[in-house]
Amino acid sequence: MQARKPSGGALVLAVIPFAAMCFSVSLWDRVEPMLFGIPFNLFWLISWIVLSSLCMRVAYQMEITRNKKNGDPG
């Protein structure tokens, strides 16, 4: 009853947002420099919301291509 394993590429693309938004917190949790009037930590998180969305978009394409190759419409 096991699910098919996700591709390695998709997994790497998922680890990137975790590294950027979670584990590295002590590197970016500061107020200066303020960018566009927003403190650095808040600006960092807002940017990574957009970048994470892009990462998952690419992961989506990779899974789709792989599933098509295996003849499975998913």
Partner 1 sequence: MSPSAVSMTTTCVIVAIGVTTGILAGARRKMDLEQWTVGGRGFGAVLIFLLMAGEVYTTFAFLGASGWAYSRGGPTLYVMAYLTLAYVVSFFILPQIWEMGRKHGMQTQADFFSIRYGNKYLAGFVCIVGIASFVPYLQLQLTGLGMIVSIASFDGIGRTPAMVLSVVLLAAFVFASGIRAVAWVSVVKDVLMVFAAVAIGIGIPYTYFGGIGPMFVALAHAHPAHLTMPGATTNLGHTWYISTVLLTSLGFYMWPHAFGSAFTAKSGNTLRRNAAVMPLYSLTLAFILFAGFATVLVLPGLPNGDLSLLTVVRTSFPPWFLGVVGGAGALTAMVPASIFILTAATLFSKNLYRPLFAPAMTDDQIAKLARVMVVVLGLISLCLAIYSSSTLVSLLLTGYAGVTQFFPGVVLGLYWKRVTMVAVFAGMIAGVATSIVLMTGHWDPLFGWSAGFVALCLNFMITALLSLLAPRGAKSSHTPEASLVTKVLE
What is the binding site for partner 1 (CB under 8 A)? Answer: 1-6, 10-11, 14, 17-18, 21-23, 25-26, 29-31, 34, 36-39, 41-42, 45-46, 48-50, 52-53, 55-57, 59-60, 63-64, 73-74
Q: What are the CA-CA distances from residue 46 to residues 41, 60, 71 (Å)?
A: 9, 22, 38
Task: For the CB of residue 69, give the shortest distance to partner 1 in the complex, in Å.
Answer: 15
- The count of other CB atoms within 10 Å of the CB of residue 59 is 19
Task: For the CB of residue 16, give the shortest distance to partner 1 in the complex, in Å.
Answer: 9
Would the CA dihedral through 29, 30, 31, 37 be positive or negative?
negative
